[in-house]
Amino acid sequence: MIRNDKDLIKEVKRYFGKDKRLLKRTVKSLNTDEKDVDYWNKFFNNFCPDKFEVNGRILQETVDAIYAQKFDNIDWNFVGDFSWDVEIILNNEVNSHLDFDKKLTSKCRNNTARFLNIYISDIIPAFTICTFYQFYKENTYEFGPLKLSKKETNLVNRIKNGFKNIGYYNVRKETALKKFKVLRSDLNSEGNASLFDCLFNDLDNYTDEIVRYNEKDTIDQFGRKNGWREYYDKQRKLIKREDNRWFKSGDLEQVVSDVNGQIVEVNIYPKKDRPQSIELNIEKTKLKYKNKFAVYLP
């Protein structure tokens, strides 16, 4: 049983280090584990009936190999995440998890859906909690961190107690984001993965900043697709904006500007079968040439 962060880190290192023998033995027994999707559906039905969805994050090819007992078919360098992702809708005006995306937000007050996400490890008895909101209106999506109401906080506490009763350890955000050189995951095959990467999801983690972006790209007079993405801090202060333009050739041009609208970075990403990409950071380049040639650059 995991009693503290020290115990947790020790266990994660045992499973997700360079030596994968213990992980492989555990994965090979997953097909006999009672904690499958039906188990978690019953578990969460005690707290928020009809307002949640349970999804497994392990790759389907890996699942098929486990259930068929064909373990030689598993690519141990790319197996997916051995975890469950539970998405709970917190809005009172929504009665079912079946709607999603724009259809869901259209039913929510201020076009904003409120979510509680819970990640559950399938390897070590541990879980972590994330919250975020999703807004959609007029071709614009926005995602950001969520401040819970008293009622929502009470729900979270009830769920935490439910996990405690079945022996699962609550991994706090600051602990989950710790990285260790010895830890490996699909996308961190050389090491330095975080506890979150190994236990839950190595594609993304907690929502800390606000992100806005267009849903459908616009087409200019030359047939090029244009899209944008903006990043804000928690106080809704703009951090940066990315403007992307896709050429008919398949090449991508990305221009990054700062809070003042000044260009700080230009990136060119050619089509895959063409030469390597070009990335230019304006400030770093100006500093480089100032030091090298000692000339004035504005």
In a domain, 64, yes or no: yes
Q: Is residue 47 within 8 Å of 162, Cβ to Cβ?
A: yes
- Say yes or no: 182 and 237 in one domain: no
Residue type, 136: Y
- Say yes or no: 142 and 275 in one domain: no
pLDDT above 90 covers a percentage of the chain that reads 59
- Say yes or no: 194 and 224 in one domain: no
**Residue matched to tokens 């917190």:** 90
At 28 the three-state DSSP class reads helix
Sequence-distant (6+) residues with CB within 8 A of 238 are 230, 231, 232, 259
- Say yes or no: 250 and 123 in one domain: no
In a domain, 69, yes or no: yes
- Say yes or no: 177 and 285 in one domain: no
* Beta-bridge partners for 194: 179
pLDDT in tens, 194-244: 999 999 998 888 998 999 999 999 999 999 999 999 999 989 999 999 999
Last residue of a domain, one of 178, 199, 220: 199
Looking at residue 188, its pLDDT comes to: 87
Q: How many domains does the chain have?
A: 2
Residue 44 φ then ψ, to 5°: -80, -20
Last residue of a domain, one of 156, 177, 199: 199
Residue 35 φ then ψ, to 5°: -85, 65
Q: What is the mean pLDDT of the chain?
A: 87
- Say yes or no: 18 and 146 in one domain: yes
The domain in which residue 110 lies consists of 5-199
**If pLDDT is split at 50, 70 and 90, which confidence band does 33 have?**
very low
- Say yes or no: 129 and 14 in one domain: yes
- Say yes or no: 139 and 30 in one domain: yes
Assigned token pair, 141: 């999506």
Q: Cα(297)–Cα(230) distance, rounded to whole angstroms?
A: 28
- Say yes or no: 166 and 236 in one domain: no
